[in-house]
Amino acid sequence: MPVGTRGAVKLLDAADLDSLGPQVVLANTYHLMLRPGAEVVESLGGLHAFTGWNGHMLTDSGGYQVFSLGPSVDDDGVTFRSTYDGSTHRLTPEGAVEIQQRLGADIQMALDECPGLPAPPGGVLAAAERTLAWARRARTVHDREDQSLFGIVQGGVSPELRLDCARRTVEMGFDGYAIGGLSVGEPLEQMLPALAAAIEALPPDRPRYLMGVGDPHAVVEAVALGVDMFDCVLPTRLARHGTAITSQGRFQLKAARHAREDVPIDPGCPCPVCARYSRGYIRHLLVVGEPTGGRLLTVHNLAWLLALVDDVRAAIEHGRLAEVRAGVAAHWGRGSLR
């Protein structure tokens, strides 16, 4: 799921999304509640009309900002200071539901507390218990039948705590289930056992969503465990800094060695950028600061990652997942950055 933090995937518009064809696009509750405000989005018809894109949309709850911005957290909710003007804003589990209902996405997330890792066991346990309590409160007030509500499983890298939290979240009866608080500083070797423990308790007839993960190696390994949905700013952020993602790993396109290369970013990629433009041309645009360069590379990176997910889905259907996993691990394991 590409991330459109403020109502747009950076450098792209709704027509680009129509062409790329993602099943879901993310928007950020924290940023949209500050600017332009949930009431403004609602008055303009909700996120679909507001953004001009009719595909499925998901809004996060503001829980990631608990991790990234370090606000004041207590049992009742979170107090943020605006990144725009320094004003203070209060967000509770009930308030997060109300704001997301006004934004009008197809899927909304319950408010959670996402601790960074590594963290003291007591802090991880406290965040998990608070997330469970907030999930109960969100479930009670959510009443928009055309909008799904997902609960979030926390628990750090402890398989035992993840399993317990997953079971208790499932008991509340959400439309889908997310696994949060992973890929926040821990190595893959610690992430996967915790993820597997959570998946064990999540029902297979409901979507299972691993939050904030976009590295191809981690994505494929998580799919093998039973994950259905992912989001991450990785492909778009890398593009804006000149890094291409390809079947052979990732590389910095602004490097001088690509200046005269009359080949696509990835010769095996069927995206419209690889069909039309050379590495040398896109490198030129990036080096001179032409925004078109970042836009073209963003289209490629997203198209490539979406195609990988399609390939993984087909591999599952045809019994070739082990083969795809091995190929991705070979090119996207440690040391893939060139």
If phi over 0 gives left and psi between -120 and 50 gives alpha, with beta otherwise, what is residue 21? left
Q: Which parts of 202-255 fold into alpha helices (H)?
A: 216-225, 234-240
Mean pLDDT of 147-169: 98
Mean pLDDT of 289-317: 98
| Per-residue confidence (pLDDT) for residue 118, from 0 to 100 | 86
Give the model's confidence band at 338: pLDDT under 50 very low, under 70 low, under 90 confident, else very high: very low
| Per-residue confidence (pLDDT) for residue 334, from 0 to 100 | 61
* Mean of pLDDT over the chain: 96
| Per-residue confidence (pLDDT) for residue 336, from 0 to 100 | 47
* Residue 11 pLDDT greater than 80, yes or no: yes
Mean pLDDT of 224-236: 97
Per residue in 19-73, pLDDT (tens digit) is 999 999 999 999 999 999 999 999 999 999 999 999 999 999 988 888 889 899 9
| Per-residue confidence (pLDDT) for residue 335, from 0 to 100 | 43
Which of 112, 164, 215, 231 is catalytic? The answer is 231
Which of 60, 112, 164, 266 is catalytic? The answer is 60
143 is catalytic: no
CATH architecture of 14-232: Alpha-Beta Barrel (3.20)
60 is catalytic: yes
| Per-residue confidence (pLDDT) for residue 337, from 0 to 100 | 41
For the chain, the domains span 14-232, 241-332
% residues pLDDT > 90 (the chain):
93
| Per-residue confidence (pLDDT) for residue 194, from 0 to 100 | 98
